[in-house]
């Protein structure tokens, strides 16, 4: 989508193939869509290598025209753009936009960083004016924070993940050199006020690389272990959640395992799935219950049973590592007394298909389930019993994706941008009516716009009329030509929220 009032913004457009409005949960959708460079391995999420990274000028222009402006985005539940944060991440990639409560207020949080095969950056907090008010970095001399988890907790701490290149003896794996390298999965819980690391867990203290399903040098993204830059990505930590007992639920993509970890000493309390599975799996597609999963979350628990959700990718993008013919959202009960894990619900796209990386599953307060499909440019929603009530697409298959996607109640986020409303006015000639195009990026309280016209830049102007806010940009056509104009944003009571600059009407040269 493009906009006359904000020509700098090009936002993904939602198109719905399934839409049952009465059953769709109202609210705002949060996502961070981005494009995949030509020649990249979409399945595994790697970047172009060798000749595939060299483009002609024509290919570069085509890429620029078709690429998505990666940014934090907010849409309403009908797919209308509310906010594009393009530029707010300083030209770097933004991923994992979500809402967090901190010090009694709600903030938008997301990862900001560079994009390579492994992302490096830091966590961002943005307030209701869309101003960055805080950042969170990894501690203890570790490498910069990784994209896969940045979660702010109400107690004033944040959880971050780190992909740490670590020396490791890989001679047993065929690396014939004194020092081999692996990417160790690390997470830290950090005090946001002081930056102190309150807890750290390291995968190599508790697991070994031979548990991995991402074999050394087995594909272009695995790494051959011979250098820091080609360290073996054996673990690939991609979600961390802390429960009210102070323990942590950790997902390892390449061990195909969910770990429940003690918050006291870091020991593994239990492992779900993978080569060292502690549980009998019941009700799943096959004996290997899930694979290369993302976004594992706790939803309820009692003394014996924990109910969790996850996005089951079912494949890492390579034919040799595919355990399911389709990806899905899963909800399962983990009974630690009987050591049985039972599938409770499974949700898939009506057209099925495999999303080989990324993805998220969210249980909404009304019991609906909202899913972001990662490497596939879709979001979808289901009733609790599995009826698909919405499928929205925001890009072309194979060229667009969003790491995760979430839905929040509209009342929990009131956007009050520091900027002023944007306006563009146009007329075919000085005898034609003036057309107003107006928007206010991120403002959530606008109900109507009021438009003013004048024949000079100094007068207050005459009220020309009002128009209901429609989508991101509202259009209004005046009754005649006006040389100058401006617009006011009004809330539901008619109070003025903001006023655009006074602009001279653009009239094209008569050829």
Q: Which residues have CB under 8 Å from 21's CB, separation 6+?
A: none
Q: What distance in Å separates the CA atoms of residue 151 and residue 279, rounded to the nearest whole number?
A: 28
Q: What distance in Å separates the CA atoms of residue 37 and residue 56, rounded to the nearest whole number?
A: 13
- pLDDT at residue 64, as a whole number: 54
Residue 242 in this model has a pLDDT that exceeds 70? yes
- pLDDT at residue 44, as a whole number: 43
Question: Among candidates 62, 59, 79, 83, which has minimal Cα distance to 71?
Answer: 83
Q: Which of the 8 DSSP states describes residue 210?
A: G
Strand-strand pairing, 462-468 and 448-454:
antiparallel
**Strand partners of residue 379:** 372, 392
Q: What distance in Å separates the CA atoms of residue 159 and residue 99, rounded to the nearest whole number?
A: 14
Average pLDDT value for residue range 442-466 = 94
Residue 131 in this model has a pLDDT that exceeds 90? yes
Question: Among candidates 376, 331, 323, which has minimal Cα distance to 349?
Answer: 376
Residue 350 phi, psi dihedral angles, 5° rounding: -55, -35
Average pLDDT value for residue range 193-217 = 97
**Strand partners of residue 122:** 112
Q: What distance in Å separates the CA atoms of residue 95 and residue 74, rounded to the nearest whole number?
A: 13
Residue 56 in this model has a pLDDT that exceeds 70? no
Q: Is 199 helix (H, G, I), strand (E, B) or coil?
A: strand
Residue 50 in this model has a pLDDT that exceeds 70? no
Give the count of beta carbons closer than 10 Å to the beta carbon of residue 84.
Answer: 24
Q: Which of the 8 DSSP states describes residue 398?
A: T
- % of the chain with per-residue pLDDT over 70: 93
Per-residue model confidence as pLDDT tens digits over 79-88: 999 999 998 8
Lowest mean pLDDT among 83-92, 190-199, 336-345: 83-92
Q: What distance in Å separates the CA atoms of residue 486 and residue 505, rounded to the nearest whole number?
A: 10
The residue ranges of every structural domain in the chain are 15-412, 422-504
Q: Which residues have CB under 8 Å from 459's CB, separation 6+?
A: 484
With beta carbons less than 8 A apart as the criterion, state whether 136 and 226 touch. Answer: no
Q: Which residues have CB under 8 Å from 418's CB, separation 6+?
A: 129, 130, 131
Q: What distance in Å separates the CA atoms of residue 63 and residue 8, rounded to the nearest whole number?
A: 17
- pLDDT at residue 66, as a whole number: 60
Residue whose entry in the numeric block shows the structure tokens 């390298």: 181
Question: Among candidates 493, 504, 50, 95, which has minimal Cα distance to 294?
Answer: 95
Q: Is 47 helix (H, G, I), strand (E, B) or coil?
A: coil
- pLDDT at residue 426, as a whole number: 98
C-alpha distances in Å from residue 29, one per residue of 21, 72, 353, 413: 15, 11, 23, 11
Q: Which of the 8 DSSP states describes residue 10?
A: B
Query: Do 422-504 and 15-412 have the same topology in CATH?
Result: no
With beta carbons less than 8 A apart as the criterion, state whether 147 and 134 touch. Answer: no
Q: What distance in Å separates the CA atoms of residue 484 and residue 472, rounded to the nearest whole number?
A: 23
Question: Among candidates 473, 398, 406, which has minimal Cα distance to 435?
Answer: 473
Residue 231 in this model has a pLDDT that exceeds 60? yes
- % of the chain with per-residue pLDDT over 90: 84
Strand-strand pairing, 496-499 and 503-504:
unpaired
- pLDDT at residue 40, as a whole number: 45
Q: Which of the 8 DSSP states describes residue 366?
A: T
Rama region for 156: left / alpha / beta (φ>0; ψ in -120 to 50; rest): left
Q: How confident is the model at residue 57 (pLDDT cuts 50, 70, 90)?
A: low
Residue 59 in this model has a pLDDT that exceeds 60? no
- pLDDT at residue 117, as a whole number: 60
Q: What distance in Å separates the CA atoms of residue 323 and residue 313, rounded to the nearest whole number?
A: 9
Per-residue model confidence as pLDDT tens digits over 385-436: 999 999 999 999 888 999 999 999 999 999 999 999 999 999 999 999 999 9
- pLDDT at residue 61, as a whole number: 55
- pLDDT at residue 52, as a whole number: 39
- pLDDT at residue 65, as a whole number: 55
Q: How confident is the model at residue 32 (pLDDT cuts 50, 70, 90)?
A: very high
**CB hemisphere CA count around 345 (13 angstroms):** 20
- pLDDT at residue 162, as a whole number: 97
Residue 39 in this model has a pLDDT that exceeds 50? no
Per-residue model confidence as pLDDT tens digits over 349-388: 998 889 999 999 999 999 999 999 999 999 999 999 999 9
Residue 452 in this model has a pLDDT that exceeds 50? yes
Residue 135 in this model has a pLDDT that exceeds 60? yes
Fold of the 422-504 domain: Immunoglobulin-like (2.60.40)
Q: Which of the 8 DSSP states describes residue 408?
A: E
Residue 324 in this model has a pLDDT that exceeds 60? yes
Average pLDDT value for residue range 92-109 = 95
Q: How confident is the model at residue 322 (pLDDT cuts 50, 70, 90)?
A: confident
Domain 15-412 falls under CATH 3.20.20.70 = no
Q: Integer distance in angstroms from the first to the last C-alpha of the chain?
A: 29
- pLDDT at residue 62, as a whole number: 58
Q: What distance in Å separates the CA atoms of residue 441 and residue 190, rounded to the nearest whole number?
A: 32
Residues 395/400/403/407 CA torsion (nearest 10 deg): -10
- pLDDT at residue 401, as a whole number: 95
Query: DSSP assignment of 127-171, as one string?
Result: -TTS-EEEEE---TTPPPBEEEEEEE-TTSEEEEEEEEEEEE--G
Residue 285 in this model has a pLDDT that exceeds 60? yes
Residue 297 in this model has a pLDDT that exceeds 50? yes
Average pLDDT value for residue range 35-47 = 48
- Angle in degrees, CA 331, 335, 336, rounded to 5: 135
- pLDDT at residue 87, as a whole number: 84
Which helix (H) or strand (E) segment is 404 a member of? Answer: strand 400-408
Give the count of beta carbons closer than 10 Å to the beta carbon of residue 267.
Answer: 10
- pLDDT at residue 58, as a whole number: 64
- pLDDT at residue 257, as a whole number: 98
- pLDDT at residue 41, as a whole number: 37
Query: DSSP assignment of 49-68, as one string?
Result: -GGGG---HHHHHHHHHHS-
Question: Among candidates 361, 349, 354, 360, which has minimal Cα distance to 398?
Answer: 354
With beta carbons less than 8 A apart as the criterion, state whether 414 and 403 touch. Answer: no
Per-residue model confidence as pLDDT tens digits over 110-129: 999 987 667 899 999 999 99
């Amino acid at each position: 989508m493009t906009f006359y009032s904000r020509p700098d913004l090009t936002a993904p457009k939602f198109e719905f193939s399934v839409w049952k409005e009465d059953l769709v949960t109202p609210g705002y959708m949060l996502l961070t869509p981005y494009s995949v460079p030509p020649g990249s391995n979409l399945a595994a999420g790697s970047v172009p290598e060798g000749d595939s990274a060299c483009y002609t000028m024509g290919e570069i222009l085509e890429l620029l025209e078709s690429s998505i402006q990666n940014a934090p985005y907010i849409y309403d539940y009908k797919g209308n753009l509310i906010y594009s944060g393009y530029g707010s991440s300083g030209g770097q990639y933004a991923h994992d936009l979500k809402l967090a409560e901190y010090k009694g207020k709600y903030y938008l949080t997301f990862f900001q960083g560079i994009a390579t095969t492994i992302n490096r950056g830091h966590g961002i907090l943005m307030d209701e004016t869309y101003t960055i008010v805080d950042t969170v970095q990894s501690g203890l001399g570790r490498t910069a924070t990784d994209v896969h988890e940045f979660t702010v907790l109400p107690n004033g701490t944040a959880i971050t993940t780190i992909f740490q290149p670590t020396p490791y003896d890989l001679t047993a794996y065929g690396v014939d050199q004194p020092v081999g390298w692996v990417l160790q999965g690390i997470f830290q819980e950090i005090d946001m006020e002081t930056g102190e690391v309150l807890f750290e867990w390291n995968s190599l203290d508790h697991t070994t690389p031979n548990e991995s399903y991402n074999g050394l040098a087995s594909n272009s993204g695995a790494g051959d272990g011979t250098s820091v830059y080609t360290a073996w990505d054996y673990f690939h930590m991609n979600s961390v959640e802390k429960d009210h007992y102070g323990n942590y639920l950790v997902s390892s993509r390449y061990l195909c395992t969910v770990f429940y970890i003690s918050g006291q000493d870091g020991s593994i309390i239990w492992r779900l799935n993978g080569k060292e599975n502690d549980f009998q799996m019941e009700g799943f597609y096959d004996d290997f219950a899930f694979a290369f999963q993302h976004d594992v979350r706790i939803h309820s628990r009692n003394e014996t049973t924990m109910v969790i959700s996850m996005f089951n990718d079912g494949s890492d993008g390579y034919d040799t590592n595919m355990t399911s013919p389709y990806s899905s959202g899963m909800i399962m009960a983990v009974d630690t007394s009987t050591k049985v894990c039972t599938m409770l619900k499974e949700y898939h796209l009506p057209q099925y298909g495999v999303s080989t990386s990324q993805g998220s599953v969210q249980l909404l307060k009304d019991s609906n389930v909202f899913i972001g499909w990662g490497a596939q440019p879709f979001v979808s929603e289901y009733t609790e019993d599995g009826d698909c009530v919405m499928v929205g697409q925001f890009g072309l298959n194979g060229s667009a994706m969003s790491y995760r996607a979430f839905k929040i109640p509209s009342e929990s986020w009131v956007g009050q941008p520091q900027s002023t409303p944007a306006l563009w006015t146009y007329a075919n000639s000085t005898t034609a009516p003036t057309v107003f195009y107006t928007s206010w990026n991120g403002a959530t309280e606008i109900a109507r716009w009021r438009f003013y016209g004048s024949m000079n830049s100094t007068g207050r102007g005459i009220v020309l009329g009002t128009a209901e806010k429609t989508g991101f940009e509202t259009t209004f056509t005046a009754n005649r030509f006006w040389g100058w104009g401006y617009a006011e944003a009004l809330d539901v009571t008619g109070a003025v929220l903001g006023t655009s600059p006074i602009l001279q009407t653009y009239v094209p040269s008569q050829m």
